[in-house]
Amino acid sequence: MSTKPKLYYFDGRGKMESIRWLLAAAGVEFEEEFLETRDQYEKLLQGGSLLFQQVPMVEMDGMKMVQTRAILSYIAAKYNLYGKDLKERALIDMYVGGTDDLMGFILMFPFLSAEDKEKQRALIAQKATSRYFPVYEKVLKDHGQDFLVGNNFSWADVHLLEAILMVEEKKSDVLSGFPQLQAFKARISSIPAIKKFLEPGSQRKPVPDDKYVETVRRVLRMYYDVKAN
């Protein structure tokens, strides 16, 4: 039996992408089963492995884990990416929570109408530059260290780099007013495990395309319109 974690999701970013990032940052190899058909999803449902009838699901260490946040916390703790004490852990949770809120605006993007996409693109850039990036810029400037928390590489750094790259895909010059974040991006991107994940051919997923949207809609029977928030 394989001891590698096995990820069950679509062949695209969605809620699984941060899990891929964190495993890659921890240097953990993983396997994936991509949901392409309704049948596959229903088999998982019938097998009882989707506790709340939702993916992502990750089989790891004898568990069938669901709930993205729980999966990420487990990986962060297991691979020493979750701070050295409870206070560092709380800070990491706060930063990851903020970054996650920013990513939420991007996650829904592929499912929007063309008109809503343009509004959402502006909103993403506005939220990034006026609410989220200034926080991290100040944290890095104030403590002058390489990483967000405790002078050690953590889940907070991995999550922020993922978000920066996602926002840049929507607005390429979004870091222009954030010198600390520009340096942070270069620094974290050059960590060997991250560098490898950023190279072509890794398990990192591309910007979601129409095929991805169609597959998600078909498998989940998602027939309603998604509206911008």
Ligand X SMILES: N[C@@H](CCC(=O)N[C@@H](CS)C(=O)NCC(=O)O)C(=O)O
Interaction between residue 14 and ligand X (CB under 6 A): yes
Pick the closer one to ligand X by CB: 1 or 52. Answer: 52
Size of the site for ligand X (CB under 6 A): 10
The answer to whether 125 and 102 are in contact (CB under 8 A) is no
53 binds ligand X (CB under 6 A): yes
Nearest residue to ligand X on Cβ basis: 54
Nearer to ligand X, 135 or 220 (CB): 220
Q: Rounded to whole angstroms, how far apart are CA atoms 117 and 119?
A: 5
Enter the tokens of residue 160: 């922020």
Site for ligand X in 186-225 (CB under 6 A): 220
- Least distance in angstroms from the C-beta of 44 to ligand X: 10
Cα(143)–Cα(84) distance, integer angstroms: 17
**Residue 178 Cβ vs ligand X, minimum distance, rounded to whole Å:** 28
* 171: phi then psi, degrees, rounded to nearest 5: -150, 105
β-pairing, 57-60 vs 63-66, is antiparallel
Residue 56 or residue 83: which is nearer to ligand X going by CB?
A: 56
Which of 211, 200, 131 is closest to 163 using CA atoms? 131
Task: Rule CB under 6 A: say whether 67 interacts with ligand X.
Answer: yes
Binder among 20, 60, 68, 174 for ligand X (CB under 6 A)? 68
Report how far residue 51's alpha carbon sits from residue 57's, in angstroms, rounded to the nearest whole number.
9
Shortest gap between Cβ of 222 and ligand X (angstroms)? Answer: 8
Q: In this structure, what are the phi and psi dihedrals at residue 31, rounded to the nearest 5 degrees?
A: -110, 160
- Smallest gap from residue 197 Cβ to ligand X (A): 21
Stretch that binds ligand X, among 20-28, 49-57, 95-103, 124-132 (CB under 6 A): 49-57
| Residue 170 Cβ vs ligand X, minimum distance, rounded to whole Å | 20
Collapsing DSSP to helix, strand or coil, 102 comes out as helix
End-to-end CA distance of the chain: 44
| 54 lines the binding site for ligand X (CB under 6 A) | yes
Catalog residues that contact ligand X under the rule CB under 6 A. Answer: 14-15, 53-56, 67-69, 220
